Every structure is written in structure tokens, then in C-alpha cells.
Amino acid sequence: MSKRDLKKYLNELNKEQLEEQIIELYHKFSDVKVYYDFVFNPNEDKLVREAKFKISNEYFPVKGKKSKMRRSVAQKFIKHFITLGVDVFIIADIMLYNIEIAQTFSAEKTIKQELFFKSMLTSFQQTVSFLMEHGILSEFQSRVVAIKDETLHQNWVNQYEFNAIVERFEY
């Protein structure tokens, strides 16, 4: 069904029928419930705390398990926050936090998987693009530069790519 057809269908419904459909969607689909729960009670602080906890748990597990270092965990939160319409400053904070916690982990443990470094570079590229796209790079520039500096300090295999990304907007 196209958006046009949907609008036509919805225009044919009366108020009670529309209410019934929205309530049914709310009960049937968890995404709809999550959306409305957020719209009516946008507790962004709680969402951020939960996201940061789960992201850090990937590197520093609370229960003595081995670190999984999955970038996908942070990516799911970022995508979810974008879908909900969370403030771009909060999304940017989570994006940067993901890289910063990974760097904290790599400072303590030697990482041999090249995929880890490639994954962090991808996250960094996406973060800088997001910041530029939303015109908020200047507010987060010090954290971006600190991430780049840390890759140099830790001698990451792809440190020059991080440096190249930062050089594009520093000059």
C-alpha cells in the first residue's frame, strides 16, 4: 500500500475507528508501543544510561564473562534512537562513547583482530559524518580529536585513516 492509499483509507475512517486501529497497533506491535511510550514519556536520561551500560558491558562485562567487543550493540541503540527522534546531541554522545569505551578497552588489553580496528574506523567515519550532517561538529570537536589522538597514542594499525578524517575538517 502506498502512502497515498493509506491517507485515502485513513480519511474514510471516523475518529473512533482511527482510535481503535491505533490501540490495536499499540497492542500488536512492540515498536509502536515503544514509540508511543517514548512520545508520552521521553525519559532520554534513562535510555542513555541503559545504552551506555550495555555498550560498556561489551568490553567490560559485569559478570566475569569474556569481552565480546560487538560494535553491533551500539549500532542498534543508535538506530533505535534515530527512529525514536532522540535529540541529535544525545545520539552523537552515544556514537562517541562507543568509540571511547573501545579505546579504553584497547589501552588495557592487546587486540590482535584487525576487524576490531576496521570496525572502529567505520564507527568514527559514521560519527563524523553524522556530526557534520547535523551541524554539531564544533560542539564535539574536542572529543573527535581526542579519539584520533588516542589512536596515535595506542599505535592503532589504521591510525593514519583516523588522522586523515580529522585533518579534513581541522584546516
Q: How confident is the model at residue 98 (pLDDT cuts 50, 70, 90)?
A: very high
Same domain flag for 85 and 149? yes
User: Residues 103-128, buried b or exposed e (16+ Cβ, 10 A)?
Assistant: bebbeeeebeeeebbebbbebbeebb
Same domain flag for 65 and 6? no
Same domain flag for 158 and 80? yes
Same domain flag for 111 and 28? no
pLDDT at 23 over 70: yes
pLDDT at 116 over 70: yes
Same domain flag for 126 and 73? yes
Report which of residues 30 and 125 the model is more confident about: 125
pLDDT at 25 over 60: yes
Report which of residues 76 and 40 the model is more confident about: 76
Same domain flag for 112 and 159? yes
| pTM of structure | 0.82
Q: What pLDDT, on the 0 to 100 scale, is given for residue 164? A: 96
Same domain flag for 98 and 17? no
Same domain flag for 36 and 68? no
SS3 per residue for 57-110: HHHCCCCCCCCCCCHHHHHHHHHHHHHHCCCHHHHHHHHHHHHHHHHHHHHHCC
In Å, how far are 14, 33, 34, 74, 157 from 80, measured between CA atoms?
32, 13, 10, 10, 31
Residue type, 46: K
Same domain flag for 87 and 152? yes
In Å, how far are 32, 39, 99 from 36, measured between CA atoms?
6, 5, 30
- Round to whole Å and give the CA distance between 143 and 80: 23
> Cα angle vertex 41, ends 37, 44, to 5°?
100
Q: How many domains does the chain have?
A: 2
Same domain flag for 8 and 59? no
Q: What pLDDT, on the 0 to 100 scale, is given for residue 154? A: 96
Same domain flag for 95 and 139? yes
Same domain flag for 121 and 131? yes
Domain that holds residue 11: 1-41
pLDDT at 146 over 90: yes
Q: What pLDDT, on the 0 to 100 scale, is given for residue 171? A: 54
- Round to whole Å and give the CA distance between 6 and 8: 5
Q: What pLDDT, on the 0 to 100 scale, is given for residue 19? A: 92
